[in-house]
A and B are shown apart, each in its own frame.
Chain A
Amino acid sequence: MGDNALGKAGYACSYVPVEIILAAGFKAERLIPEGRSSDAEGLIHPNTCCYVKNLLSHAAKGAFSDHDVVILANSCDAMRKLFDLWNARVDKPVALFMDIPKKRDQGSIDLFSSGLRRLALRLEKVPGGSEVTGEGLNEAIRQVNKVRSSWMDVFSALKDGRDGFSGAEVFSLMQENTGLKPGALSDTIADYKRAHPGRTSAKNGPRILIMGNILNKAVLVSMIEAAGAKIVGFNTCFGMRHHELMVEEDKEDPFDALARRYLKRPSCARMMGIADQIDRLRSDVAGTMADGVIISCVKFCDNLSYNVPLFQETVKSTGARCLVLENDYEFSDSEKTRIKVEAFLEMLG
Chain B
Amino acid sequence: MFKDMLEGMTQMMETALKEKKRFLPLWYREWFGLFLKAYEPGRKVIYTSMYAFPMELLAAFDVVPFDFEVAGALMTTMNQGVPLMTEAEGRGYTMDMCSFHRAVLGGYYKNCFPRPDLLMTTSFYCDGKGKTNDLLSYLWNTESFFLDVPHEITRDAVRYVENQLREVATKLGEITGRKLDKDRLRESVRRSNYSRRLQIEILELLKTRPMPMNPKDMIGYSLHGNLFSGTTVKEMLDEQLIHDIKEKIAKGISRKESHRIFWFAWFPVYQENVFETFKNHQVGIPLCETYRVYWDEMDEDNPFEGMALKCLKNPFVGPASRRVEGMDKIKEDYALEGALLFATPACRHANSPHMFLKNAFAELGIPFLMLDMDISDPRGFQPEQIRTRLEGFIEVMDNKNRG
A interface vs B, CB < 8 Å? 42-45, 47-49, 74, 76-78, 80-85, 87-88, 97, 99, 101-103, 107-108, 110-111, 114-115, 270, 272-275, 278, 299-300, 302-303, 305-310, 312, 324, 326
Contacts and interface: CB of A to CB of B under 8 A. Distances in A.
Given A47-B346, A312-B92, A306 B156 contact: no
B140 interface: no
A102 B134 CA distance: 12
Contacts of B137: 274
B4 to A, nearest CB: 28
Interface in B309-335: 319-321
B138 A306 contact: no
B378 to A, nearest CB: 18
Contacts of B321: 84
A76 to B, nearest CB: 5
Contacts of A74: 151
Given A78-B348, A84-B353, A306 B131 contact: yes
B97 interface: yes
B93 A309 contact: yes
Nearest to A114: B156
Interface residues of B, number: 45
A293 to B, nearest CB: 14
A102 B123 contact: yes
A47 B345 contact: yes
Contacts of A81: 320, 348-349, 352-353
Interface in B329-384: 343, 345-346, 348-349, 351-356, 359
B355 A44 contact: yes
A111 B157 contact: yes
B123 to A, nearest CB: 6
A303 B92 contact: no
B348 A103 contact: no
Given A81-B348, A300-B348, A302-B346, A99 B150 contact: yes
Given A107-B160, A111-B156, A305-B94, A274 B135 contact: yes
Contacts of A303: 127, 131
A115 B151 CA distance: 11
A78 B359 CA distance: 19
A48 B156 contact: no
B284 interface: no
A111 B146 contact: no
Contact of B355 (A78, A88, A275, A326): A88
A83 to B, nearest CB: 8
Given A45-B351, A307-B131, A302 B97 contact: yes
A302 B355 contact: no
Given A45-B348, A305-B96, A272 B134 contact: yes
Interface in B61-78: none
Find the residue from A115, A299, A312 having the highest chain B CB count within 10 A.
Answer: A115
Interface in B105-160: 123, 126-128, 130-132, 134-135, 137-138, 146, 148, 150-152, 154, 156-157, 160
A43 B355 contact: yes
A102 B148 contact: yes
CB-CB nearest 5 A-B residue pairs: A309-B92, A81-B352, A306-B131, A77-B349, A45-B351
Contacts, number: 128
B351 A47 contact: yes
A88 B358 CA distance: 13
A85 B126 contact: no
Find the residue from A77, A87, A326 having the highest chain B CB count within 10 A.
Answer: A77
B148 A88 contact: no
A80 B151 CA distance: 9
Nearest to A44: B352
B127 A270 contact: yes
Contacts of A43: 355
Interface in B52-109: 91-94, 96-98, 101
A85 B351 CA distance: 12
A270 B96 CA distance: 17
Contacts of B94: 305, 308, 326
B208 interface: no
Contacts of A302: 96-98, 126-128, 131, 346, 348
Nearest to A53: B352
A256 to B, nearest CB: 13
B146 A102 contact: yes
A264 B45 CA distance: 31
A102 B160 CA distance: 13
B164 interface: yes
A45 B354 contact: yes
Given A84-B320, A102-B130, A111 B351 contact: no
B163 interface: yes
Contacts of B148: 101-103, 108
Interface in B157-193: 157, 160, 163-164
Contacts of A80: 151, 349
Contacts of B351: 45, 47-48
Nearest to B133: A272
Contact of A45 (B98, B127, B152, B352): B352
A15 to B, nearest CB: 14
A317 to B, nearest CB: 14
29 contacts: A44-B355, A45-B348, A45-B351, A45-B354, A48-B351, A74-B151, A76-B127, A80-B151, A85-B352, A97-B151, A99-B150, A101-B160, A102-B148, A110-B160, A270-B127, A272-B146, A273-B134, A300-B96, A302-B97, A302-B131, A302-B346, A302-B348, A305-B94, A305-B96, A305-B97, A306-B93, A306-B131, A306-B132, A306-B135
B356 A84 contact: yes
Nearest to A312: B92
Contacts of A102: 123, 130, 146, 148
Contacts of A78: 348, 352
Contacts of B135: 274, 306-307, 310
Contacts of A115: 150, 156
B388 to A, nearest CB: 20
B47 to A, nearest CB: 15
Nearest to A306: B131
A99 B152 contact: yes
Interface string B242-284: 0000000000000000000000000000000000000000000
B346 A88 contact: no
